[in-house]
Amino acid sequence: MKLAYYSTFPDYSAQNFNMEQYIQTYRTSNVIIDAAASSIHYPPHESTLTIKTVFKGEEHYRTKNCRYRVTENNFLLLNAFNEYESKIESDITAYSFTHSFSIFFHPAFVREAFATNKISQGKLLENNIHESSDSNSFEFIQTLYKKDSRILKLLKNIQTAPAKLSQNQDYIDEQIHFLFDYLLKTQNKLNTEISKSHPVKKSTKLELFRRLYLVKDYIESCYNENIKLSQLAKTACMCEHHTLREFRKYFKITPHQYLTRIRLEESRKLLSQNQRSISEISTLVGFEHHSSFSQLFTQRYKISPSAYRKNSFRKNQF
CA distances (Å), 91 to each of 23, 280, 299, in order? 31, 14, 30
Q: Residue 303 carries which DSSP code?
A: S
Could you give the dihedral angle defined by the CA atoms of residues 56, 23, 5 and 78, in that order, rounded to the nearest 10 degrees? 40
Could you give phi then psi for residue 59, rounded to 5 degrees?
-135, 140
End-to-end CA distance of the chain: 48
CA distance 77 to 17: 27
Angle separating helix axes 202-221 and 240-251, nearest 10 degrees? 90
pLDDT in tens, the chain (318 residues): 899 999 999 999 898 999 999 999 999 999 999 999 999 999 999 999 999 999 999 999 999 989 999 999 999 999 999 999 999 997 656 678 999 999 999 999 998 888 776 654 445 445 444 444 343 446 899 999 999 999 999 999 999 987 666 667 889 999 999 999 999 999 888 877 777 765 567 677 888 989 999 999 999 999 999 999 999 999 999 999 999 999 999 999 999 999 999 999 999 999 988 678 999 999 999 999 999 999 999 999 999 999 999 888 777 665
Which pairs from 156-161 meet CB under 8 Å and 24+ separation? 158/32, 158/103, 159/34, 159/55, 159/101
Neighbours of 203 (CB within 10 A): 9
